Amino acid sequence: MGKDLAERFPVARDTFQAIDQALGFGLSRLMFEGPEEELTATHNAQPAILAHSAAVFAVIAPRADGAAAAGHSLGEYSAYVTAGALTATDAATLVRRRGELMHQAGSERPGTMAAVLGLATAAVEAACREASVGGAVAVAANLNAPDQTVISGDPEAVARASAACKARGAKRVIPLKVSGAFHSSLMGPAANQLRVALERAPFRDPRFPVIANATAEPVRDANRARRLLADQLTTPVHWVACMQRAAELAGSDACFLEIGPGNVLAGLLKRTVPGANVVSLGSADEVTRFLEAA
């Protein structure tokens, strides 16, 4: 994960090393060599994904003029890095703490998540309301695409909501391997403690707007960024609305850049904003082709 970037681009290697130093351990070695089960633990996976995104951005920054940025869940921190509101090291420190707090909240009140495919968001939300009985919680947590929604909450409520979604015609309901009910009220204790860390973090006003997961509206000042990043843990990721807002801000002929591992967000964008021009930049080869074409 990211090893090819470090080998080909000195500025990417410097980014990984700076984040290692800020965190006080060899995150990059864990990214490059594993073991996978340690890397995928949420307190490691979150800073690793951010480090990968920050390394890509460090390489392309001279060729990438931003009109707006957005990031899915922890990716919102990377978006603030691209907008100059956070340094990569400060963002990595925050998401490391975020991962620890989310894992702790999940240990204290175990929760789960499931992806619902092929069913409109409104129908998923109705199923969640029906399933939230007896104090158990099920909510639509990630509104990823018009026909893809992730539900989150107590295991028994998520199971009831999953069955209700299938009964309403969902093509598939896929349980997710997660350590908690992210983006639900079960993350309340984590959000309260994260708010303290965010208040202490050295934010600056972003150079261009960052579209918040919690509101799908552009954020232009540091204090609002802090508040919404804390709120994000207990509120849905309004990704469909975020992408629609980004398209409005950037213009119909804009080029969207997905930075970091994988190309999931590119696929979601194309399903939300038909005809969108999007380039995924995760590997050294992808970054090299982008630089040569820019």
Structural domains of the chain in order of their starting residue, each with its CATH number: 3-106+186-293 (3.40.366.10), 112-177 (3.30.70.250)
Mean pLDDT for the stretch of residues 242-256: 90
Query: What are the pLDDT digits (tens) for 194-231?
Result: 999 999 999 999 999 999 999 999 999 999 999 999 99
Write down the catalytic residue from 43, 52, 72, 183.
183
Quote the pLDDT of residue 70: 97
Peptide bond into 35 cis (omega under 30): yes
Rounded CA separation 208/205 (Å): 9
Is 183 known to be catalytic? yes
Q: Does 287 score more than 80 pLDDT?
A: yes
pLDDT band at 286 (very low <50, low <70, confident <90, very high): very high
pLDDT computed for residue 251 by the predictor: 82
Contact in structure between 75 and 260 (CB atoms under 8 Å): yes
Strand bridging mode 138-145 / 148-153? antiparallel
Q: What is the pLDDT of residues 137-192, one digit of tens each?
A: 999 999 999 999 999 999 999 999 999 999 999 999 999 999 999 999 999 999 99
Q: How confident is the model at residue 250 (pLDDT cuts 50, 70, 90)?
A: confident
* 187 within 8 A of 102, measured Cβ to Cβ: yes
pLDDT mean over 80-107: 97
The string of pLDDT tens digits covering residues 252-261 is 788 999 999 9
Question: Is residue 43 flagged as an active site residue?
Answer: no
pLDDT bracket for residue 240 (50, 70, 90): very high
* Amino acid at residue number 261: P
Q: Which of 28, 53, 73, 162 is catalytic?
A: 73
Task: Kindly report whether the global pTM for this prediction surpasses the value 0.85.
Answer: yes
Q: What average pLDDT does the chain have?
A: 96
**Arithmetic mean of pLDDT, 113-121:** 98
- As a whole-number percent, the residues of the chain with pLDDT over 90 amount to 95
CB 232 within 8 A of CB 198: no
